[in-house]
Amino acid sequence: MKAVLYKKFGPPEVLQIKEVSKPVPKDNEILVRVHASPVSFGDRLVRNFRAVTPKKFHMPLVFWLIGKIYFGFTKPRVQIPGSEVAGEVAATGKDVKKFKAGDEVYGYSGPKMGAYAEFLCMPESGVMAIKPRNMNYADSSAVPYGALMALSLLRKIKLRAGDKVLVNGASGGIGPAVVQLAKFRGARVTGVCSTLRMEFVRSLGAEKVIDYTVEDFTKSNETYDYIIDILGKRKFSEYRNSLNNNGKCILVSFKMKQVFLMLWTSLFSNKKIICIVTTERSSDLDYIRELTEGGNYKTVIDKCFPLEQAAEAHIYADSGHKKGSVVITF
């Protein structure tokens, strides 16, 4: 089968099309004929992971070290990228009950990756579900990571209808899902993004969109119940005056100093910082399918590239000009 491989870390040009052996599913696995896989932030990160220093890695040092051990210090240990997938079940192991050949599925393979290939094996118990009927494969492939992270995040903060929520990083990999799911739960959502992506964020249901190149929301008098910082590039002290009493700043990316600050604010402040490590559930993909089929969740595809142009897809995603997801199709 054809697959995208990289034998060394580096820019998009390290991605090459190669013929590799087609995987054979184990007794508890399904074999997915891949139809689409998006170019995620994670794919681009691990492609050049050798250049990722602890300072550039927006998580505690121990997470960086685990990543280095898993993905490789000097050369890639995981050589086929792609952590999100949509496709058709081609075959199943003898013990599989949940899926059957012909099922149209979408899912998240996580750090195992491997979705930039014509076939991918996934465990039946993995993060995989029947895809939404009203979405094609390209649209479906762009759902899992952002939706899974957003649902995990919102589940932990117990969002209520009427809460004022600001999403800093509303147009990235997780932000669009947070905007839509918070809106669906009745929150009043403000999104922060660049000029280029304002209409995109507005189309997701944000009540207000702030262009960070023009306006610094921390300098206004507007306050929020939750500030969800996807990027983790600003200090809590900058956010404090933008939080209501008992307001919370939610960090998806953070360092150890933010963890210590979380402990301090939990004891001594009515405005708190919360560092969240998200988890994935296949049942969440079932929930997202229901929302999507009900017209309450969508993805926006900027551009699709064939498998043979995977390097070009990464170049385009790296350019910073995309308005939505960039997807590799098969």
User: What mean pLDDT is reported for the chain?
Assistant: 95
Say what the pLDDT of residue 112 is: 96
pLDDT of residue 93: 98
Residues 21 and 135 in one domain: yes
CATH number for position 239: 3.40.50.720
The residues facing 37 across adjacent strands are: 328
Same domain, 106 and 174: no
Q: Are residues 151 and 126 in the same domain?
A: no
pLDDT at residue 278, rounded to an integer? 83
* Whether 240 and 318 share a structural domain: no
Q: Which domain holds residue 61?
A: 2-143+299-329
In a domain, 281, yes or no: no
Q: What is the mean predicted confidence (pLDDT) over 91-108?
A: 98
Question: Do 93 and 154 share a structural domain?
Answer: no
Residues of the chain with pLDDT > 70, as a percent, come to: 100
| pLDDT higher than threshold 90 for residue 293 | yes
**What's the pLDDT at 18?**
97
Number of domains in the chain: 2
Terminal CA-CA length for the chain: 12
Res 12: pLDDT = 98
d(CA 252, CA 155): 13
Domain end: 230, 260, 275, which one?
A: 275
pLDDT exceeds cutoff 90 at 179: yes
Categorise residue 33: left if φ over 0, alpha if ψ from -120 to 50, beta otherwise: beta
Angle ∠(37,77,53) on CA atoms, nearest 5: 90
Q: Could you tell me if residue 270 is inside a domain?
A: yes
Q: Is 98 found in the same domain as 68?
A: yes
Residue 173: pLDDT above 90?
no
Place 110 in a pLDDT band, splitting at 50, 70 and 90: very high
**Does 86 reside within a domain?**
yes
pLDDT at 312: 98
Mind listing the pLDDT tens digit for each residue in 60-80?
Answer: 899 999 999 999 999 999 999
The pLDDT score that the predictor gives to residue 75 is: 95
- Bridge partners of residue 227, in order along the sequence: 166, 249
- In a domain? residue 250: yes
Q: Is the pLDDT of residue 181 over 90?
A: yes
Tokens of 49: 């992971």
Position 55 confidence tier, pLDDT thresholds 50, 70, 90: confident
112 is a domain residue: yes
pLDDT, greater one: 44 or 58: 44
Average pLDDT over residues 5-20: 97
Residues 128 and 10 in one domain: yes
**Same domain, yes or no, for 50 and 127?**
yes
The C-alpha atoms of residue 250 and residue 152 are separated, in whole angstroms, by 12
pLDDT for residue 6: 97
Q: Are residues 178 and 102 part of one domain?
A: no
Q: Is the pLDDT of residue 277 over 90?
A: no
Q: What is the pLDDT of residues 301-311, one digit of tens each?
A: 999 999 999 99
Residues 133 and 154 in one domain: no
Q: Is the pLDDT reported for residue 253 higher than 90?
A: no
**How deeply is 238 buried, as exposed, middle or buried, from its count of CB atoms within 10 A (0-12, 13-18, 19+)?**
middle
Does residue 121 belong to any structural domain of this protein? yes
Within a domain: 294: no
Residue with tokens 């890639």: 76
For residue 58, the model assigns a pLDDT of 83
Q: What is the pLDDT of residues 218-252, one digit of tens each?
A: 999 999 999 999 988 788 999 999 999 999 999 98
Residues 8 and 100 in one domain: yes
Q: Quick one: which H or E segment has residue 190?
A: strand 188-193
Query: For residues 7 and 80, is the Cβ–Cβ distance under 8 A?
Result: no
- Looking at the domain assignment, is residue 229 inside a domain? yes
Using DSSP, state whether 317 is helix, strand or coil. Answer: helix
- Give the mean pLDDT of 270-281: 90
Mean pLDDT of the region 240-266: 92
Nearest residue to 283 via CA among 121, 129, 99: 129
pLDDT at residue 198 greater than cutoff 90? yes
Burial profile 33-61: b = 16 or more Cβ within 10 angstroms, e = fewer: bbbbbbbbebbbbbbbbbebeeeebbbbe
117 and 154 assigned to the same domain: no
